[in-house]
Amino acid sequence: MPMRINPSILAADFANLERELGRISSADLVHVDIMDNHFVPNLTFGLPMVERLQEVSPIPLDVHLMIDDPDRWAPGYAEAGAASVTFHVEAARDPIALARRLRDIGARAGIALKPGTPVDPYLDVLHEFDQVLVMTVEPGFGGQSFMPETMPKLRRVADAVTDAGLDVWLQVDGGISVDTIGVAAEAGANTFVAGSAVFRGVPEEQIELLRDAVAS
């Protein structure tokens, strides 16, 4: 089972993003956090930034939209060339229609679940998505502590994916470090977003440490 490490550039040096991309060349994808100061109480950047990152990044982009009205905005990120576009499911008017549109454009389509968002309404339609992001902190800020109480939900998604014989990536995001990544892998995650854990040290070394921690 391949384990993917997706560093979040939320913790990188925003004044030198191209250089920062060069420090994570062993990453699987680059996680790009889009916040609109409405869906979450914080603001980052938007489509023009992603279009430019797409031009310079040797690593595919994993866009995480923490925004209202993704039905309107998400397709633009897929059109920009993002490898995956993940939106928060309660923010979308029609999550399945949106996922189909993202796939039609050529991106992997993902739904994200906040710690308090139940997964049960989506367990029967997991085939409509390429990845499910189980948030392991409240979205909005980097550097928060991993919430182990989100693990039973992750396990439920993992079991449903296995039972249905699907290849849906299970992503965790928030507080992932060498100390917590094993717990998330144990509960079924195979795609790990890490911001502060990667960029607080030497990024390539930190990526390797995270990989080692889940190597079986």
Q: Is 22 annotated as a binding residue?
A: no
Quick note: the x/- pattern for Zn ion over 65-104, rule CB under 5 A, is ----------------------------------------
Q: Does residue 36 belong to the site contacting Zn ion (CB under 5 A)?
A: no
**Closer by beta carbon to Zn ion, 122 or else 192:** 192
Q: Is 46 annotated as a binding residue?
A: no
Q: Hey, how many other C-beta atoms are within 10 angstroms of the C-beta on 127?
A: 12
Q: Does residue 114 belong to the site contacting Zn ion (CB under 5 A)?
A: no
Residue with the CB atom nearest ligand DX5 in the bound state: 195
CA atoms of 136 and 139, how far apart (whole Å): 8
CA atoms of 31 and 59, how far apart (whole Å): 10
Q: Which does 110 bind (CB under 5 to 8 A by kind): Zn ion, ligand DX5, none?
A: none
Q: How far is the CB of 14 from ligand DX5 (least distance, A)?
A: 13
Q: What DSSP letter does each residue of 135-165 carry, written as one string?
A: ESS-TT-SSPPP-GGGHHHHHHHHHHHHHTT
Q: Does residue 64 belong to the site contacting Zn ion (CB under 5 A)?
A: yes
Burial 98-125 (b: 16+ CB within 10 A, else e): bbebbbebebbbbbbbbeebebeebbee
Q: How far is the CB of 42 from ligand DX5 (least distance, A)?
A: 8
Q: Is 106 annotated as a binding residue?
A: no
Of 180, 128, 150, which Cα lies nearest the Cα of 193?
180
Q: Which does 196 bind (CB under 5 to 8 A by kind): Zn ion, ligand DX5, none?
A: ligand DX5
Tokens for 11? 């913790």
Q: Which residues are catalytic?
A: 33, 173
Q: How far is the CB of 38 from Zn ion (least distance, A)?
A: 16
Q: Is 201 annotated as a binding residue?
A: no
Tokens for 65? 């939209």
User: Which strands sit side by side in the sheet containing 169-173, from one edge to the other?
Assistant: 4-7, 191-194, 169-173, 131-135, 108-113, 84-88, 61-66, 30-35
Q: Is 165 annotated as a binding residue?
A: no
**Binding residues for Zn ion restricted to 156-215, rule: CB under 5 A:** 173
Q: Which does 185 bind (CB under 5 to 8 A by kind): Zn ion, ligand DX5, none?
A: none
Q: Does residue 33 belong to the site contacting Zn ion (CB under 5 A)?
A: yes
Angle between helices 70-79 and 95-105 (to 10 degrees): 10
Tokens for 154? 């992750």
Q: Which residues bind Zn ion (CB under 5 A)?
A: 33, 64, 173
Annotated binding site for substrate: 8, 64, 140-143, 173-175, 195-196
